Amino acid sequence: MEDKVVLTMRGITMTFPGVKALDHVDFTLRKGEIHALMGENGAGKSTLIKCLTGVHDFEFGEIRVDGIEEPIRNHSTMDAQRRGISTVYQEVNLCPNLSVAENLFIGREPLTKAHTIDRKAIVKRAQKLAEEFELNLDVQQTMGSYSLALQQMIAIARAVDMDCKILILDEPTSSLDDNEVSKLFTLMRRLRDQGVGIIFVTHFLEQVYEVCDRITVLRNGQLVGEYPVTALPRVKLIAAMMGKDIDDLAKIKPEACENRCGDMLIDAKGLGHTGKIKPFDLNIRQGEVVGLTGLLGSGRSELARVIYGADRPQTGTLKVKDKPAHVARPIDAMKLGMGMLPDDRKAEGIIDDLSIRENIILAMQAQQGMLKLIPYKEQCEIADKYIALLDIKTASRETPLKQLSGGNQQKVIIARWLATNPDFLILDEPTRGIDIGTKTEIQKLIIKLAEEGKSILFISSEIEEMLRTCNRLAVLRDGEKVGELSGDMTQESVMHAIAGGEKG
């Protein structure tokens, strides 16, 4: 193994039914290096990590770790830990009901000669670790009483105490405030200086430029490139992650808003939810299509959810059609004529055991209440109408939704909201995971709806899509809305806005 290199992954390939998650991906980690692993949804970051730590059994490729002759293949996270590869997850993998000291030593408690747990030794060693990591805490206090930030540091301390040479941090900063993040970075730098190789999986641009040495970018399961941080200006990074669309869809340009748009429909001032989205202002006029752009994790979905009431807004005010509105739950929003297609259709969209027909009329039924059932005949008519309109490929309207392909499932959820005839529709990544033909249909649909006077809030990771359909773009970065673009927009100008900063 090359000097100073602690981990090499070559040609890693992993296929799931129907999709190639990783296509001959290479990755190199050096000793004493903080290496960022970046990519949008579906890029393959988490799959790569899971192949490394033994959660997935990759098909082809080779992993070599410094100090071990043969290429390795981990079959479980314990395997990986024994070989010096530790992971600290976003949801900290510790037990909140046990003390800090116990958490540090679960599964490997020091024993006395009588084979009982040496509680004194645990406390002593834990205190020593806490001092080493400059954590001022009582190691005998239960984990749950400490902040998430501290819990993460303790998880890292445990990993380090288990002699890890490769430390993987999976989105550790998502729930931390600025203070906590800087403390985490100090710890990371110390570990780096001690020779540990750190893989830092994150969405936060600024943090990457603050603490990392190298960046590896994945896109659609393939390696885009590995770059030293100093040699990669922000805009180039964004371009690498989001890429230029290789599709040759017809140039559809939205009609300028001034000619068409009506009065103010949605007027949000200072709406926010601590930890998810900083207070923002946003207004949307009737018939306008507003896009939310930014990297994944920048707060786009969170912003939409706060308007819709899926996450209760903790600050700010909302006006709908110029009247103050109190939206605390989705049903409140629905009654005001809103609808939302969530980005995670599996978790929050599809009700898989119900039929297509039932899924389509689901939101309509909620609006009518439990006692007023939509007559069966009407349900069938509505379902058939949208199956035809959106070209949903299914043998019958009674097929359970789980039997449909992802793209068709997405169409059903879209149909669900169209059926409620909303004034304002939020579409969060409606085209993700959908074939190119359907993508075009959806984009055309958005424009058509706008022409009919509906307002749309459109979130997508593909800038081209939004340029084709939106009148205006709101730019988000690192959990807050940082600006707006309108008029003549190009992919370059959008990427610049997302990247921000003076460094390139």
Partner 1 sequence: MKQIRKITKMRLFLPIFSMVLVMAINMIYDVANGNVFYNFFTISIRNGLLYGRLIDILNRGSEAAILAIGMTLVVSSSAGVDISVGSVMSLAGGMCCMLLAGFGNANVSQYAMPLWVGLLAGLAVACLCGAFNGFLVSYLNIQPMVATLILFSAGRAIGLLMCNSTIVYIREPSFQFLGGYLGPIPTPIIVAILCITVMSLILKYTALGMYVQSVGINAKAARIAGYQSRRIIFTTFVICGLLAGIAGLVATSRIYSADTNNIGLNFELDAILAVALGGNSLGGGKFRLSGSIIGAYTIQAITTTLYALGVSSAQAPVFKAVIVILIVTIQSPAVKAVMAKRAAAKEVAARKGAVGV
Partner 2 sequence: MKTSPLAGNTHRRMNNNTVLIMITIALFVIMYAAGCIAYSEKGFDHLQTFLNILINNSGLICIACGMTCVMLTGGIDVSVGALIAMDCMFIAVGIEYWGVSSPILMLLVLLIGVAFGLLQGFCVGYLGIQPFIVTIAGMFFARGMTAVICTQQVTIKSDPFFVGLANLKFNMPFEIGAYFNNKGKEMIPYFRLPVIIALVVLVAIFLVLRYTRFGRSLYAVGGNQQSAALMGLDVKKVRMKAYVLSSFLCSIGGICYCLNTMAGTTTQATGLEMDAIASSVIGGTLLTGGVGNVIGSFFGVLINGTISSLVKTNGKLISSWANVVSAMLLCFFIVLQAVFAKIKERSKG
Distance CA 294, CA 498 (A): 6
Q: Which is nearer to partner 2, 186 or 486 (CB)?
A: 186
Spell out the residues 6+ positions from residue 448 whose beta carbon is closer than 8 angstroms to its own.
none
The partner in contact with residue 352, picked from partner 1, partner 2, none with C-beta cut-offs of 5 to 8 angstroms by kind, is partner 1
Q: Tokens standing for 442? A: 């959806």
Distance CA 335, CA 327 (A): 10
- Asked if 297 and 322 touch (Cβ cutoff 8 Å), the reply is no
Q: Which is nearer to partner 1, 323 or 372 (CB)?
A: 372
Q: In Å, how far are 240, 311, 476 from 24, measured between CA atoms?
A: 18, 40, 32
Should residue 179 be labelled a site residue for partner 2 when binding is judged by CB under 8 A?
Answer: yes
Q: Which is nearer to partner 1, 151 or 420 (CB)?
A: 420
Should residue 116 be labelled a site residue for partner 2 when binding is judged by CB under 8 A?
Answer: yes
The least CB distance from residue 256 to partner 1, in Å, is 33
Strands (E), 286-429: 289-293, 315-320, 323-325, 338-341, 424-428
The least CB distance from residue 450 to partner 1, in Å, is 23
The least CB distance from residue 327 to partner 1, in Å, is 12
Cβ atoms within 10 Å of 441's Cβ, excluding its own: 18
Should residue 109 be labelled a site residue for partner 2 when binding is judged by CB under 8 A?
Answer: yes
Q: Which is nearer to partner 2, 314 or 365 (CB)?
A: 314
- Asked if 126 and 117 touch (Cβ cutoff 8 Å), the reply is no
Distance CA 339, CA 201 (A): 33
The partner in contact with residue 137, picked from partner 2, partner 1, none with C-beta cut-offs of 5 to 8 angstroms by kind, is partner 2
Should residue 440 be labelled a site residue for partner 2 when binding is judged by CB under 8 A?
Answer: no
Burial per residue of 390-410, b for 16 or more beta-carbon CB atoms within 10 angstroms, e otherwise: bebebeebeeebeebebbbbb
Q: Which is nearer to partner 1, 115 or 372 (CB)?
A: 372
Should residue 328 be labelled a site residue for partner 2 when binding is judged by CB under 8 A?
Answer: no
**DSSP code for 30:** E
Q: Which is nearer to partner 2, 131 or 255 (CB)?
A: 131
- Single out the segment in contact with partner 2 by CB under 8 A; choices: 88-96, 202-210, 259-267, 431-439: 88-96
The partner in contact with residue 95, picked from partner 2, partner 1, none with C-beta cut-offs of 5 to 8 angstroms by kind, is partner 2
The least CB distance from residue 160 to partner 2, in Å, is 15
Site for partner 2 in 273-302 (CB under 8 A): 274-275
For the chain, state the CA radius of gyration. Answer: 25
The partner in contact with residue 106, picked from partner 2, partner 1, none with C-beta cut-offs of 5 to 8 angstroms by kind, is partner 2
Burial per residue of 157-182, b for 16 or more beta-carbon CB atoms within 10 angstroms, e otherwise: bbbbbeebbbbbbbbbbbbbeeebbe
Distance CA 252, CA 450 (A): 14
Number of residues in the chain = 504
Interface size with partner 2, residues (CB under 8 A): 43
Should residue 185 be labelled a site residue for partner 2 when binding is judged by CB under 8 A?
Answer: no
The partner in contact with residue 157, picked from partner 1, partner 2, none with C-beta cut-offs of 5 to 8 angstroms by kind, is none
The least CB distance from residue 354 to partner 1, in Å, is 7
Selected binder of partner 2 within 33, 66, 180, 288 (CB under 8 A):
180
Provide DSSP, 426-461: EEESTTTT--HHHHHHHHHHHHHHHHTT-EEEEE-S
Should residue 120 be labelled a site residue for partner 2 when binding is judged by CB under 8 A?
Answer: no
Site residues, partner 1 (CB under 8 A): 17, 310, 329-331, 334, 340, 342, 347-354, 358, 362-363, 365-374, 416
Should residue 78 be labelled a site residue for partner 2 when binding is judged by CB under 8 A?
Answer: yes
- Single out the segment in contact with partner 2 by CB under 8 A; choices: 177-185, 260-268, 367-375, 432-440: 177-185
Should residue 95 be labelled a site residue for partner 2 when binding is judged by CB under 8 A?
Answer: yes
- Single out the segment in contact with partner 2 by CB under 8 A; choices: 95-103, 207-215, 316-324, 477-485: 95-103
Sign of the torsion formed by the C-alpha atoms of 93, 94, 100 and 104: negative
Spell out the residues 6+ positions from residue 285 whose beta carbon is closer than 8 angstroms to its own.
257, 261, 262, 263, 264, 265, 455
Site for partner 2 in 48-77 (CB under 8 A): 77
Q: Is 212 exposed, middle or buried (0-12, 13-18, 19+ CB in 10 A)?
A: buried
Q: Which is nearer to partner 1, 113 or 372 (CB)?
A: 372
**DSSP code for 150:** H
Distance CA 232, CA 244 (A): 17
Q: Which is nearer to partner 2, 347 or 388 (CB)?
A: 347
Q: In Å, how far are 86, 101, 137, 150, 355 from 146, measured between CA atoms?
A: 22, 13, 9, 6, 45
Q: Which is nearer to partner 1, 349 or 479 (CB)?
A: 349
Report the interface residues with partner 2, using CB under 8 A: 77-78, 81, 87, 89, 92-98, 102, 106-109, 111, 115-117, 119, 131, 134-138, 140-142, 144-147, 149-150, 153, 179-180, 183, 274-275
